[in-house]
Amino acid sequence: MNKLSLVITLMLAGLATGCNTVSGAGKDVEAVGETVEQVAEDTRDELKD
For residue 32, which amino acid is it?
A: V
pLDDT in tens, 14-24: 877 777 787 88
Q: Can you tell me the distance from the alpha carbon of 9 to that of 7, in angstroms, rounded to the nearest whole number?
A: 5
Q: Kindly state the greatest CA–CA separation across the chain.
A: 73
CA–chain centroid gap for 6, Å, is: 29
Whole-prediction pTM: 0.58
pLDDT in tens, 26-49: 888 899 999 999 999 999 999 997
Residue spans per domain, the chain: 1-49
